[in-house]
Amino acid sequence: MLKRPRRLRGGTLLREMVRETRISPSSLILPLFLKEGKDIHDPIPSLEGHFHLSPDDQVCREVEQALKAGVSRFLLFGLPAHKDPEGSGAYDDQGIVQQGLRVLKDHFGKDIYLVTDICMCEYTSHGHCGILYGQEVDNDPTLERLARIAVSHAQAGADMVAPSDMMDGRVLAIRNALDEAGRTDLPILSYAVKYASSFYGPFRDAAGSAPAFGDRKSYQMDCHNVREALKEALSDVEEGADLLMVKPALSYLDVIRAVKEATNLPLAAYSVSGEYAMIKAAGAAGLVDEHAVMCESAVSIFRAGADILITYFAKELAEAIRKGEIG
């Protein structure tokens, strides 16, 4: 036989040299949940190993641990003390994310990179991602609020903003607002392709963002559709997005591949809370090797075409990369 593929599988050093998919800690982003108050370090029951953190020494200690593991990029979510129908706490300059940004930047400076989630669901009393008109989210009035949130985060120290609301036209509205505020340098990571998924359950518990009525299927995408994903992604490219995202990840690997092939922007994938919780639960039950499944699932997401992975396993993956168990 002239062709023997096993020749390139003969040893660890050879397999690593010819590896097609490579992962670096610099491609990992760790979500953090900020909660108003002081000295808060409360476990999140639905997200084992993750915590609600006050914007003081508590969040700084969590970031220090992540830095030791090799993770220096973070995605910030906020849990406000008070909510209202307008979600006004989201664009309050003294809001929870704004507090966290200032504390973290004062403490760590340029050693960390902070991305902020731009949405209203954590801040509205009804739990939806925008301003309501009756029982429906009113797209266009919501855009002005999203733009205000982005500018407020930028002024507080955000390195990048990531709109996750799925309103039509929000990337352009945010880009224009940032530019008018003199922040032409600030990148936008668009949740371009965000599905109305059943995998978000633990996150909604962690962020206190479950809708009080109805669902989000009128603005998040139908899981049956992939051509629509390309339409959404290409629209956000035209509106000025600097990076794109597909969310969730594991059940949408085909979508990651399709978006990767149709665009030329850096592509992130969000391995969401349900994916994390299932691996943790199966591992705890002795059904799978949690560490091995964590590594393999991360590789699959990068293999599908992701350049960046937002994951609750970021610290563990960075350690695995350092030890040569994945990479």
Catalytic residues: 194, 247
Collapsed DSSP state (helix, strand, coil) of residue 300: helix
Which parts of the chain are beta strand (E)?
A: 28-35, 41-43, 51-53, 73-79, 113-118, 132-133, 136-137, 160-163, 189-194, 243-247, 267-271, 308-311
User: For the stretch 171-197, what's the b/e string if a residue is b when 16 or more beta carbons lie within 10 angstroms of its beta carbon?
Assistant: bbbbbebbeeeebeebbbbbbbbbbeb
Which residues are 229's β-sheet partners? none
In the block, tokens 């349900």 appear at 274
- Which stretches of 1-160 are DSSP H helices? 12-17, 57-69, 96-108, 139-156
Contact 122, 210 (CB under 8 A): no
Burial category of 4 from C-beta neighbours within 10 Å (exposed 0-12, middle 13-18, buried 19 and up) = exposed
Alpha carbon distance 271, 268 (integer Å): 10
Alpha carbon distance 18, 8 (integer Å): 7
Alpha carbon distance 305, 300 (integer Å): 9
Amino acid at residue number 107: H
Amino acid at residue number 239: E
Bridge-based pairing state of the strands 243-247 and 189-194: parallel
